[in-house]
Structure 1
């Protein structure tokens, strides 16, 4: 039994060990040819061995007392296919359909994945009647939904209709006009794709998903373990898997023992429950002494990009100013109060590593931010955003008559794209993943200048436009580059038409990067996957790389402001990024 000195990092590691050490069902199994054939799928389709295991495991769970579970295979192992097999084979009973509200399968996923689910159903199980329930024109008639085999909707739509459903229960005239059709159907099965979207059990999405009626419930996710024990509670609540689906019980048996450092006690009930409800296989899992999938090699390179003289001058001036501010914070003993201000300093240093102009392109330059002013992040009135100081400097960056304003990373992108074109005779495609959408704006004119035909995919685009852009990438051989926001396109998508990835800016949590890489390195990929992680040596990025390796929990909090207070991370680690020794 561990002592009370156990840290949050130890909790995370225990959870990771919990997910990695088992839950793979059988590693030795006799599989005959008939096992890989799915009646109702297209005739030439065959399941892989690990998918056959999932086929029977899911049938056993759904028809037994569990009534669902968590399919948590690594990214790229075919969770969508495995779920479709269960949908095709596990049709609703006649008794269920004969009830006044009995319906089929409801799939809830991020809005970007609605078209992908529809396309996969059309491709593999075209006989299924499918309805996409999303947008202002969606139906208010629940009869249209219950007559479908599969209804696909989003977490946002579900949350919105739950609010309307609650209003309707009050029997007001206005409420009766609200859209709440998904809550008027008693579903045969509910599937949450990218189920980590409900990990905050207090969120509207979590409340909505848990309130839906269904005979069976499934969670699909590639990363079953997040950085908080409470995330697992939300999944168990949705699955209605007792006794840990009650918040008071979960706190008593899991959360409080973990907080006290008694991880043995905390992990024991989780072991018992997860062994019943979760199936997880990793890319390196073996069955019958053979890898479950044969993927092409994945080659990772950390590419060091060199500032030119003007970039170095700009970054050095910014770093000197930030270090002065940090010293002032330490000397005035206001570190605790200035946590958010220090995150602003990190933001500005990261932007300067990408491109000095990025700092001056507006406050909200990162995909999916709340839109609040950076000024509001300052906890102490005397601590200003470094942006105000840097406005007095001329952020002149290397430029030539033949190229738009550039930067070290943009010059490296051009070089890598040229090498890929030469190596593949122009046939290989490349994804450029960016955290800052402002950086995407700066890269675009360079791609046009270099006559690189590309598509763009970010969170500001409509669903229809995103589908159009993905089709262009997958079907047009002349489109050899994809400029994608890692927040909008880093999860759920199948991007195997590309085999090269350029990661422009470092992400705090390596698991987020792995999610993005998994869009390319997955079943269906035929070529070697080359990954280029761009970094600037002797800058904040070098120290982020070091910190990633030793403190993954810090990396999550640095991009998720709500997690900072909850996780109570050590300030020593954050201060190390600014090269300040333990003085807090």
Structure 2
């Protein structure tokens, strides 16, 4: 998914170019030139390691594939059929690039958006454009000019213009007079940023600000905020406005941020997140703060609800929307950045856009709510703190700001004094660092929980899956209507015949076992699992960096292969536990995961590793694909949640939104505990056919809708 997003982003766009000679349509333009070049690269890599000239050609092709894809999508003169044909040809080239990079992993770095483009690659790119019949200007944009190109790609959705026009005059904030910046006294002339960073290398007490002591809080019926979560919300209600919320994963940072925004009345609220969790944020907002509408920004934002209170946008498209999100017309009063370690490189575009938004909000009267959420505030070294501190307004490029500078002055110390570092560390912490571990708040947590993470399949694979689901629904409806006519003849039957619905589902189940249909529930669930495999692996990689060891469960080999390729590319060591291994190899991999601190992830087959092994060295696991029974899911969780497990266990279940995945997750959840209820405490399993129940639900939903939508 991440690589596809990179190909589509068009972050490095070339200069304008015009075609100067006419050829046959299929041999016109850049695609034939790219096809020939990528075949040469593929052949060279098959023969051995990529030479420098091959690496140059690989990078030039990758750049032009991105540019051409962006051009095709934006060209209004193309018909949809023609655009689809060209994009399909381009996708074939991109596939060869990906397969070639998998063969020589050193090429993967050249596919990254922030990869440094060599002068040779730039020159070869020019030559390819010339060979394709394009006029290329002599002067190319320098790297620093790329920002200007990105600026020109910014969009303002029509609904946002409507919001701005509906409220052209903003009410002055009479109660929020900005305090003048403090003037350094004792510390004037001292270099302070480096000592502040170094103060965190000396250790000390837990890095957690002073928080109010509050009990568990009833948010609304059936929904309770645990004490450690309620503390942050209470602090926001008391007026604190900047937080580095660095709780370990599984401690409910999303709920804390949403409720803190509600307590601070920090609306409109902008939430910047990785693409993999943006749908999940909207769902959490509906759960925890239902009175405040959330809208998720996709693409150019054509369907954004500009009158919402919460705007959720992912890092990958922030460049297009940073202008209107930070404008005075929206007048945002809160900004939350999830997985804030993503902005640690201040030279990256996403970091610069986030810092720009923060600066815009802080430049206005009043104090905005600024929250950086991450389980890993430090990735490589102590300097990773600086971008987050700057986002929160605690420092700028040269010195501490505002309350932090006042707190340092109040210590009465300078960096040469013996107690300065301990006092400086505490001053930074009190600005808003909140760090709790699972083990510290275990009394507040259930011993085991399943957390659903929703991901969107908004690419070609996702559209194909949804088309297949609609085709299956149409087939079921057609069969139901024929059966209805046979049963009742010309008599009119009011409502849905649920007995007949079940019979049609039974017939479809039998058909599935007898034929190799491409659109039955089993095949579609496999396609969904494959389509979301990259997002699941990305989530597991984030967890591995945040909390250490993680178990990754998948049903199918291709999903495991994709996950392992991603971990290898990111330098994350893993152990593979599969059904085709010898007992010796299997145990060797289990031992590597349980005893070697450098092995962060166990990639497990759900069927092969779901029973009989002990992986309690981890307390987090990712279920990349859904099981057909709650028992199979529970068995996988029990590899981690076992006697002797010292920490609460969280199973992160990855679910594809707006597909059968969501309905099947609900069905599996509804069957959990059915055996105990049905048999008065007996632990004997009651067999339920989730596939049959899925078909019944699908057909019932289709019959409940207008015929035109089926």
Q: TM-score, normalised by structure 1?
A: 0.42
Q: Which has the higher contact order (CA 8 A, sep 6+)?
A: 1
